[in-house]
């Protein structure tokens, strides 16, 4: 029960609904147990005892009990379900909040489909046991205890004979639980992997179709689906082996009851009505005991789901705020790196090695280098997406960890290399970081990002609804909307991570011209592969394998004959050769 104890905070506040459900269950169980007693009275007193006048009263009592049981069953099921629904509503919300707080490092290894599976299927599996499992477990205990009590009241010897096989049934049920729980945990993991396969396929459908890999993807999905099927069959196999054994042990108890009970009736030690009632009570015990397998089934699924949910809830939040964190509206944007080293994976090569530089307010820093050289890693440390292994990252002379996360990130406009847009209107996408912005502010930001003209050409203008991940727009259009979104929050630090990589040269020139005005008074970091995007920077830092190889202004770096000049030669000399070849033709 450790899993349920750890998750107690989510369902215990709603215990009143659970208690009302259990109160109603007491009535349901008590009335269920009264049925055989009414039957026994009918046989022994009304029929055998020839007291026929009792029959109308017994019928009326039976009908009255059924009506009361109907109302009690309604309240038992309603409050039980309400208890489960309210509990997992809180649990689902907390898991979603936790996912928002978890650091980038967590998502580096997490699978989207698996997380979706936990947030939906696993939460629902846990809810089902809260709504019905606990109630069913208590019903089983009450039925067994009350039925045993009445059986011992009728005949102690017959009760002992009938119950002789019950310890063996308990052992089988225990072994079933030990086998079925690991099986259900494997099912949950397999389902998460199946979800991930579907999510990745749908997200990458353009790539799949462009490379004619539909058959390959069908094969991969089939493998995951087959694995899920196999694990479910394995679990069914466990159930198929244990349930007949449970039923056999139960039938042995029935045979013992009929044999010895019949003998007691013949010699007058037990009345016929008591034997009939005894037979009903035995099934009130055997039925729930065998049904305990189903409850264990539900319990195992809920436990496996709960464990997967706890993996999220107990995941460490590496990026946290100090209790005395600084909260202020506006920062100056003075960024300093002091001997910073960053390693993403333990025992792996460092992504950054002893990086030091100073970026005063209003200055523009260009970052250039090959893929994997550490350009993006620098900007992710400024926003505290990751923590450095060594060294310090300062903003306005204070470590970034001194600031509240919202304060820090509200002052940093981040335009990623791959622009993500939400499935909502263009206006809401631009105003995402500043929902209080007016329509005039949104339009102004769009104009600065060279996006206003193409937006107005769309059917609904700024109210145009976008498809998933901005479907319907070109890569350059999506990037310009992302730039407008960053401009609108009026950041002290502006980070452009290859922000113009998806636009043509003319649009890049227009965006850069517009950004010249936007970058005034802001510390700007430009990550680019094109030298044309950053040659006007106040300082250009050339990175290689996580280290600074060169730094300086454009003209200075060109005269050094180092990595920067080699990049320049590749980009510009090849272009000149093409132009010369074309002119000779």
CA gap 257, 155 in Å, rounded: 11
In a domain, 483, yes or no: no
User: Taking 90 as the threshold, does the pLDDT of residue 207 lie above it?
Assistant: no
Say what the pLDDT of residue 500 is. Answer: 67
Please give the average per-residue pLDDT across 161-166, as a whole number: 78
Structure confidence at residue 583 (pLDDT): 47
* Rounded CA separation 354/420 (Å): 32
Predicted confidence at residue 113, as pLDDT, reads 73
Q: Answer whether residue 501 is part of any domain.
A: no
Do 535 and 526 touch, CB atoms closer than 8 A? no
CATH number for the domain spanning 184: value is 1.20.1560.10
Mean pLDDT estimate for the chain: 82
From residue 350, alpha-carbon distances to 377, 378, 389, 431, 577 in Å are 11, 12, 9, 37, 38
Strand order in the sheet with 390-395: 352-359, 335-342, 390-395, 398-399
Angle at 316 between CA 310 and CA 319, to 5 degrees: 140
For 490, phi and psi rounded to 5 degrees? Answer: 50, 60
pLDDT at 92 over 60: yes
Please state, in angstroms and as integers, the Cα–Cα distance from residue 196 to each residue in 103, 118, 189, 563, following that order. Answer: 20, 11, 11, 41
- Rounded distance between C-alpha atoms, residue 294 and residue 401, angstroms: 51
Phi-psi region of 19 (alpha: psi -120 to 50; beta: other; left: phi over 0): alpha
- Per-residue model confidence (pLDDT) at position 578: 45
The average pLDDT across 309-327 equals 87
**What are residue 270's phi and psi, to 5 degrees?**
-145, 140
Query: What are the Cα distances from residue 93, in Å, to 10, 125, 206, 293?
Result: 10, 16, 33, 32
Q: What percent of the chain has pLDDT over 90?
A: 12
| pLDDT value at residue 579 | 46
Q: Which residues pair with 369 in a beta bridge?
A: 543
Q: Please state the rounded mean pLDDT for residues 313-339.
A: 88
pLDDT of residue 367: 92
Which pLDDT band holds residue 102 (cuts at 50, 70, 90)? confident
* Distance between CA atoms of residues 536 and 365, nearest Å: 9
* Residue 42 reports pLDDT greater than 50: yes
Contact 301, 125 (CB under 8 A): yes
Q: Decide if pLDDT at 179 tops 50.
A: yes
Residue 42 lies inside a defined structural domain of this protein: yes
Residue 529 DSSP SS3: coil
135 inside domain:
yes
Q: Which of 188, 148, 143, 183 lies closest to 296, judged by CA?
A: 183
**Other residues' Cβ atoms within 10 Å of the Cβ of residue 122:** 27
**Per-residue pLDDT tens over the stretch 549-567:** 999 998 888 888 888 888 8
With cut-offs at 50, 70 and 90, classify the pLDDT of residue 540.
very high
Which is higher by pLDDT, 215 or 508?
215
Mean pLDDT of 102-106: 83
Q: Which long-range contacts (CB under 8 A, 24 or more apart) does 345-349 make?
A: 349/545, 349/546
Per-residue pLDDT tens for 451-485?
A: 888 889 888 899 988 876 666 787 778 888 888 88
Q: Is the pLDDT of residue 286 over 80?
A: no
Q: Is residue 121 part of a domain?
A: yes
Residue 329 lies in a domain: no
Mean pLDDT of the 169-186 span: 77
What residues does 398 pair with on adjacent strands?
395
For the chain, what is the radius of gyration of the CA atoms?
A: 36
Residue 511 is predicted with a pLDDT of 66
- Model confidence over 331-364: pLDDT tens digits? 999 999 999 999 887 767 888 999 999 999 989 9
Least confident of 120-134, 350-364, 494-508: 494-508
Number of domains within the chain = 1
CA-wise closest residue to 544 among 367, 293, 291: 367
CA-to-CA dists, residue 170 to 140, 158, 165, angstroms? 13, 20, 9
Predicted confidence band of residue 503 (pLDDT cuts 50, 70, 90): low
Coil, strand or helix: which one is 394?
strand
Q: Which pLDDT belongs to residue 171?
A: 81
Q: First and final CA of the chain: distance in angstroms? A: 81
- Considering the domain boundaries, does residue 306 fall inside one? yes
Give tens-digit pLDDT for 241-259.
Answer: 877 887 787 778 778 877 8
Pairing of strands 547-552, 539-544: antiparallel
Bin 323: left if φ > 0, else alpha if -120 < ψ < 50, else beta. Answer: alpha
Q: Which residue is listed with tokens 């069959």?
A: 233
Query: HSE (CB half, 13 Å, CA atoms) of 469?
Result: 8
Show the DSSP H helices in 204-213 as ranges.
205-210
220 vs 199 pLDDT, higher one: 220
345 Cβ contact partners less than 8 Å away, ≥ 6 residues apart: none
Q: What is the pLDDT of residues 365-386, one digit of tens each?
A: 999 988 888 888 898 899 898 8
How many whole angstroms separate alpha carbon 140 and alpha carbon 29? 9
Strand-pair partners of 359: 335
Inside any domain, residue 452 = no
Domain that holds residue 293: 2-313
Distances (CA, A) of 41 to 33, 61, 191, 420, 431: 13, 12, 54, 75, 77
Cα 13 from Cα 87, distance rounded (Å): 8
DSSP H helices, 42-165, are: 54-101, 104-109, 112-117, 123-128, 134-154, 156-162
Contact 391, 355 (CB under 8 A): yes
Rounded-to-integer distance, Cα 75 and Cα 77, Å: 6
128-153 pLDDT per residue, tens: 888 888 888 888 888 888 888 888 88
Check: CB of residue 119 under 8 Å from CB of residue 95. Answer: yes
User: In this predicted structure, which of 111-115, 215-219, 354-358, 425-429 has the lowest mean pLDDT?
Assistant: 111-115
């Amino acid at each position: 029960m450790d899993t349920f104890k750890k998750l107690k905070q989510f369902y215990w506040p709603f215990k009143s609904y659970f208690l009302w459900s259990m109160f109603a269950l007491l009535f349901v169980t008590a009335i269920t147990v009264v049925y055989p007693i009414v039957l026994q009275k009918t046989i022994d007193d009304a029929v055998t005892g020839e007291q026929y006048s009792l029959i109308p009263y017994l019928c009326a009592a039976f009908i009255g009990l059924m009506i009361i049981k109907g109302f009690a069953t309604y309240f038992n099921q309603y409050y039980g379900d309400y208890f489960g629904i309210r509990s997992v509503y809180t649990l689902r919300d907390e898991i979603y909040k936790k996912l928002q707080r978890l650091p980038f490092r967590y998502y580096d290894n997490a699978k989207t489909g698996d997380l979706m599976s936990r947030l939906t299927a696993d939460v629902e599996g846990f809810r089902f046991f809260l709504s019905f499992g606990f109630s069913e477990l208590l019903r089983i205990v009450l039925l067994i205890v009350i039925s045993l009590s009445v059986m011992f009241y009728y005949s102690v010897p017959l009760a002992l004979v009938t119950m002789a096989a019950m310890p063996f049934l308990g052992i089988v049920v225990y072994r079933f639980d030990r086998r079925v729980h690991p099986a259900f945990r494997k099912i949950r993991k397999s389902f998460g992997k199946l979800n991930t396969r579907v999510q990745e396929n749908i997200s990458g459908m353009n790539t799949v179709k462009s490379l004619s890999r539909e058959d390959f993807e069908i094969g991969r999905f089939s493998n995951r689906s087959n694995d899920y099927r196999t694990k479910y069959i394995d679990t069914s196999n466990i159930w198929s082996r244990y349930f007949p054994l449970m039923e056999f042990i139960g039938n042995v108890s029935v045979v013992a009851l009929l044999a010895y009970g019949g003998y007691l009736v013949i010699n007058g030690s037990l009345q016929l009505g008591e034997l009939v009632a005894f037979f009903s009570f035995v099934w009130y015990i055997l039925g729930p005991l065998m049904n305990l397998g189903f409850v264990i089934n539900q319990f195992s699924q809920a436990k496996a789901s709960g464990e997967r949910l706890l993996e999220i809830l107990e995941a460490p939040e590496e990026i946290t705020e100090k209790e005395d964190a600084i909260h202020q509206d506006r920062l100056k944007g003075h960024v300093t790196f002091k001997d910073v080293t960053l390693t993403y994976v333990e025992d792996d090569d460092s992504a950054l090695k002893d990086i030091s530089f100073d970026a005063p307010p209003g200055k523009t820093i260009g970052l250039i280098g090959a893929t994997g050289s550490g350009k993006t890693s620098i900007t992710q440390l400024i926003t505290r997406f990751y923590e450095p292994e060594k060294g310090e990252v300062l903003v306005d002379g204070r470590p970034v960890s001194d600031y509240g996360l919202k304060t820090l990130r509200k002052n940093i406009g981040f335009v990623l290399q791959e622009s993500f847009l939400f499935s909502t209107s263009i206006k809401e996408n631009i105003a995402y970081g500043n929902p209080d912005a007016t329509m005039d502010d949104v339009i102004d930001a769009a104009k600065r990002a060279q996006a206003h003209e193409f937006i107005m050409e769309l059917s609904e203008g700024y109210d145009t609804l976008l498809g998933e991940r901005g479907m319907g727009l070109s890569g350059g259009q999506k990037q310009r909307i992302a730039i407008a979104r960053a401009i609108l929050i009026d950041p002290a630090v502006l980070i452009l991570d290859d922000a113009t990589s998806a636009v043509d040269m003319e649009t890049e020139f227009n965006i850069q011209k517009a950004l010249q005005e936007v970058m005034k008074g802001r510390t700007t970091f430009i990550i680019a592969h094109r030298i044309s995007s950053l040659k006007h920077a106040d300082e250009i830092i050339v990175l290689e394998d996580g280290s600074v190889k060169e730094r300086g202004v454009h003209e200075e770096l060109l005269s050094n004959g180092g990595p920067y000049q080699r990049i320049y030669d590749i980009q510009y000399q090849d272009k000149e050769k093409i132009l010369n070849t074309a002119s000779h033709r």
